[in-house]
Amino acid sequence: MALREIIFLPEPILRRKAKPVTKFDKDLQTLIDDMIETMREAPGVGLAAPQINIPQQLAVIEYAEQDDDEGAPPKPKKLYVIINPEIVKASEEKVLGVEGCLSIPGLLGEVERHAHIQVKALNRHGQPVKLKVEGWMARIFQHEIDHLNGVMFTDKATRVWKPQEDEEVELD
């Protein structure tokens, strides 16, 4: 495994629709492992292939939902590899939340996203998966799928700002 360089705006690849993945070979598995390592090292909660200069419909996401019970032990993180993802259902309910991005360092934005979505994709072995995600996880999935379509969070943000030193947000 190797760390990959994360690219930043205004790199043109970040504005292009990525191509579907068609080969599920050893090179793809290496790329996925490298993306997971790069995401964790950054540190981020998601990483799309265009962010490492690879124009493919591939993203990795790793996040643990927070427990409402303050005394509960932390929930384990879930790792997702989504290939050629498509949002097939989205709730009418939308939620405003703060987002950041590894490819736009130093900025945060308030973005409205669907509260619940259903995603159809392929896993790392090319097998179809259907995922129902909600809350912060739904936000991360939508953010990463936007990357695969050349859309950045700043395109959808109602407000963008430079964070204060004590302001924390999980980055994709």
The residues near 140 (Cβ < 8 Å, ≥ 6 apart) are 45, 46, 61, 63, 170, 172
Backbone angles phi, psi at 53, to 5 degrees: 70, 30
119 within some domain: yes
| Rg of the chain in Å (alpha carbons) | 15
Q: 172 in a domain, yes or no?
A: no
| Catalytic residue chosen out of the listed positions 11, 37, 41, 144 | 144
Q: Is 110 part of the annotated catalytic residue set?
A: no
pLDDT tens string 122-155? 999 999 999 999 999 999 999 999 999 999 999 9
Cβ atoms of 63 and 45 closer than 8 Å: yes
Decide if 21 is inside a domain.
yes
Give the percent of the chain with pLDDT over 90. 86
Q: Count structural domains, the chain.
A: 1
Residue with tokens 């995922």: 131
| Interatomic CA distance for residues 3 and 59, integer angstroms | 15
93-124 confidence digits (pLDDT tens): 999 999 999 999 999 999 999 999 999 999 99
Q: According to the model, what pLDDT value does residue 109 have?
A: 97
Q: Tell me, what CATH number does 142's domain have?
A: 3.90.45.10
* Summary mean pLDDT of the chain: 94
pLDDT 10s digits, 28-48: 999 999 999 999 999 999 999
Scanning the structure block, which residue is given the tokens 């939340």?
A: 97
| Residue 84 domain-assigned (yes or no) | yes
Domain that holds residue 96: 12-161
Q: Can you give the pLDDT at residue 6? A: 98
